[in-house]
Homo-oligomer: A and B are copies of this chain.
Amino acid sequence: MIPAPYLLYLGRSNDAVGIKTSRGLAEFRPDDCVGEFRHDDGPLTLGLPRLTMAEGAAAGAKTLVLGIANSGGKMGADLIADAVAALEAGMNVAAGLHQRLRDVPEIASLAEERGLSLFDVRDPPANLPVGNGNPRAGHRLLTVGTDCSVGKMYTTIALTRAIQARGIPADFRATGQTGILIAGDGVPVDAVVADFISGAIEQLAPARNDNGWDVIEGQGSLFHPSFAGVSTGLLHGAQAEALVMCHDPMREHMRGIPGRALPDLAECLEHNLRVARLTSPDVRAVGICLNTSAMDRDDARKLCDTIAEQLGLPCTDPIAFGTDTIVDALLAG
């Protein structure tokens, strides 16, 4: 386990979506976050106390969490210098980028010298099995998306808590760096070797017989040309009986690919169901979740109603309006 509490890194990121790991920890593990670190020219804040590395360590932070994500997952000179500064201040460092902290010589040697730990959250487990798609017991729900970073993790956690609130066992199954840091467990599915994508998810959400739910965090999108392979293997490994589709109505183009339009909602949902049927022939869609955080509340409500009518499914913003309508549909099934 990664020693808490945490100092959350924002650096000089100007990408509100890219800081999702730091934001997720602030949102879902607020008691474990002492503050945020950002440079003078970093425009983003989580509303936490702004602390230097030394102040963070003095405030009790045991670990700097490099909670930013970027396509490709490489560390620039900036990030390396800040990780070094955190170690010099006496903190461990955790990151979820594809490039490993331990593979950066200056970070690795300094950590060893100071007796501090490096946590590479995106390290996949060893000895993953190849998936087989054979039917297994248990209830599973998977979140899917029109794009990357559209709220799948928030939705998955919200649904897990809402099912638990009905007195039904439910477990959040994390598949990305942020979810893994929040849950303290999971599999970084985009970092596994390609042959083992579905097998990793079969292992993450094995057969269960307690009538409870595994609520599995989706990744990417079948319509994202960078990452659809991950999404496909996740659908097959999850063998979900229920899908919830997530969408950001303010997204202007597929993340990282200017000019590429988002898919039509109905087409996206239908294609996800079709791919899912390979291992879960009776899969059904139970709801749509929107991230309306950038919208006026009335407009958000109206948009949810419009989409609900168009698709014939409950549609909500899980943060603004809760997930009760979706859980009703799920449990009525």
Residues of A within 8 A of B (CB): 71-73, 98, 129-134, 189-195, 197-199, 222-223, 225-234, 236-237, 256-257, 260, 271, 274-275, 278-279
Contact = CB atoms under 8 A, between A and B. Distances in A.
Contact of A195 (B98, B236, B260): B98
B195 A193 contact: no
Stoichiometry (number of copies): 2
B233 A133 contact: no
Of all A-B residue pairs in the complex, the 6 with the closest CB atoms, nearest first, are A133-B225, A229-B233, A197-B229, A232-B232, A229-B229, A190-B195
Contact of A230 (B133, B190, B195, B234): B195
Contact of A191 (B191, B195, B222, B226): B195
A189 B71 CA distance: 19
B130 A226 contact: yes
Given A223-B278, A229-B230, 15 more contacts: A73-B195, A98-B195, A132-B225, A133-B257, A191-B193, A194-B194, A194-B230, A195-B230, A197-B230, A198-B227, A222-B232, A228-B232, A228-B278, A229-B232, A229-B236
Contact of A225 (B73, B131, B223): B131
A129 B194 contact: no
